Amino acid sequence: MDAHITSLANGDRAKAARVLLVSNRLPVTVALDEQGAVNVSWSAGGLATGLRGAYKCADSLWIGWPGLPDLPGEAEEAVAAELERFRCSAVHLSADEIRASYEDVANGVLWPAFHYELDRLPAELAGWDVFRKVNERFAEAVARHYRPGDLIWVHDYQLCLVPAILRRLIPDAPIGFFFHIPFPSSEVFSVIPWREELLTGLLGADLIGFHTASYLRHFATTLRRVLGMEVDIETVQHSRRETHLGVFPMGVDVPAWSELGARADVTARASEIRGEDPEQRILLGIDRLDYTKGIPRRILAIDRLLSLEPDLRGKVRFVQVTVPSRENVESYASFSRDLDELIGHVNSTWATENWVPIHNLHRSLPQDEIAALYRASDVMLVTPVRDGMNLVAKEFVASRGDDDGVLILSEFAGAAVELSAALHVNPYDVDAMALRIREALAMPADERRRRMQALRAQVGAHDIRNWADAFVGRLAEVVARRDAAQQQLGAPHGTLVAELRAAEAVLVLLDYDGTLVPFAPTPEQAAPDRPLLTLLNELASRPRTEVHILSGRDHATLGSWFAGLPVGLHAEHGFWSRWPGSGHWTQCQRVSDEWKERIRPILEYFTRATPGSFVEEKPHSLAWHYRLATDDFVGGCDFGEHQGKELRLLLVELLGRAPLNVLAGNRVVEVRPEGVSKGAAAPLILDRHPGATVVAIGDDTTDEDLFRALPSGALTVHVGAGPSVARFRLPDHDSVRRLLSELCERAPAAVGVAPSPSGRARVAGAAFRRWTHRPFGARGQEVHG
């Protein structure tokens, strides 16, 4: 890592740069009194609470909706002036925009889908056009405030389209996106009607962050299933650029909660909550009122607990705080009514004259009251049926400086990955939850202390500031690498074209798949399109220029695809060659194909065991493709990748010292004779044109053999990301085509020849005659292609 990147990786840029935070809601509450005066205060809960500490520590600007729709012009100006004191900037929205974008799409479709609640999706979908326009409004607001050097950090599912819109408005801006909710499996995500546009919108970011590794894997699998894109470890190549993926589990403000939990007034209030009967055990739940939080099943678990342990009647008290949320949405209002009925039923079943088991507090509470509840409780119940992280669990732990209390945590909360010392539970299993509560109530003091100390160590080591610093630092590092690569490799079009224009003769060596065309699911779908054939014909017709295509594909396929073009073709990584102006294929090496009888059954076995895979047989090689293989995960990678690794290991072990090579390509494993490579084919091509300027372009490991075999002065170009010995880099096949088109357009006309296509062809023909074909001698065997 060079010094520039190292400094940024160590956080220099993250500390110096201004961060533009972008979220659906600003972290403040804006109110207008009867006289129209504006009152602004910090909001409580959610993203506002989580990010506020990190936000206040930097010269940042927060951009979002202030929470009041349809403000008149003079009120907007007053709100803007007041928000400036909080370093906030408003994106004003109408009531209709809020209803369509936020209620119909974000909370009506995306929220339930991302939380696996598919039964809650509406039968008729509306609002997508407005959702897109609202995202455009947010992006335009960010672009107005952006200054070179700023880092842009977009938050959560309501703004999925913002990164791509920003990328169009500010192409070089550093853009990060963080998902605060779960990212579902590809099968679940695929039900969303706007799935392609959502993914494309997200890929405008340089870095996309998730709470857990499983969410990241779901996203990677979804990219492949929906868009056909591959993720290389944590990087995806697309649209002439790359997006990085990362895992950043969010924390809480540990020092603040620890200090709050230890405050004298808070501990006094905790004692007051416990009441006159210190022996009565307190169970606690604190949730925003939402169907994903698992509150009804939690209530049923209390009912089941009292059925299992009748002696607990009068000895336990369950305090459930439900913070009002989305009360204007009928489905939430209905959910609230159903919950009240359930609590009433359980209370009427078990209540005595002086005791009820469940106390439901349906209101927002100040933080000191919440801290007092945390300190007063014996058992904390955090049992969502699905949750991105759940910071309540971490707040509870951070506030327990007394090292007491038991945390019962849902397996389906993101926090469960980190908080292994909690008692984990399946929130769908009411009986198991009741038994967990009984276990927690009976847990000895020393075990409670040991578990809480482990939880506090984990939560303390990964607080909100660590999370913010990690994400912003990683974004700065990703962008620094991107910028450094652009500086190092430059804008190769101008450099390459200038050098090639000045050359007396030019030799162009091109890979095919991934270089001239994108990767296709099957070989049959990879045929060249008409614009590519036209481009190659023009390039080959350029004066003093000869073009060769070197591919792993078989010679019959290449011959049919490029019939009639005056280009050299080299199939199966150079095993077969057809020279410009010739209709004959030359076999460059004699080998036996007996090895195929031994290898083919192995590949066929893996095909049967891996749905979606297939074997491609070429005249002198065998390839096992798994691009369409199923994406179930095994050992941290998808099943196709898992099988590919197993196959490579097996083949290497079986072949031993046999003169065969096992090659790993882009979701393909190929076996071919040893010594056959693009690098071995290079000298045969170069011998025909001594002194020509060579440009070689490729994207695969097989092209690295070619780059290494070329003279040091050759213009070698790697397509895509990843390590390479090439001198230059282009992002994708589109950029390769643009480079070749630019070379054609800038080529000077030969003296005395009109710059028409036919004129270029005549000059090219003369050039080919000057570069006469040289036979290969005894090694060559000609066949008709």
Active site residues: 511
Backbone angles phi, psi at 633, to 5 degrees: -95, 135
How far the first Cα of the chain sits from its last, in Å, is: 49
Asked if 770 contacts 275 with a C-beta cutoff of 8 angstroms, the reply is: no
User: Do 726 and 716 contact (CB within 8 A), yes or no?
Assistant: yes
Three-state secondary structure call for residue 690:
coil
Contact 639, 632 (CB under 8 A): yes
DSSP 517: B
Please give the Cα distance from 614 to 605 (Å, whole number): 10
Contact between 105 and 114 under an 8 Å Cβ cutoff? The reply is no
User: How far, in Å, CA of 121 to CA of 191, rounded?
Assistant: 10
Q: Is the dihedral of CA 207, 213, 216, 217 positive or negative?
A: positive
CA atoms within 13 A on the CB side of 632: 6
Query: How many CA atoms within 13 Å lie on the side-chain side of 693?
Result: 14
Tell me which residue of 175, 149, 177, 167 sits closest to 23, measured CA to CA.
177
CB neighbours of 701 closer than 8 A, spacing ≥ 6? 663, 664, 665
Pairing of strands 61-65, 19-25: parallel
Contact 666, 702 (CB under 8 A): no
Place of tokens 């088991």: 357
DSSP 359-378: EEE-S---HHHHHHHHHH-S
By the 8 A CB rule, do 39 and 31 touch?
yes
The token pair at 255 is: 């020092």
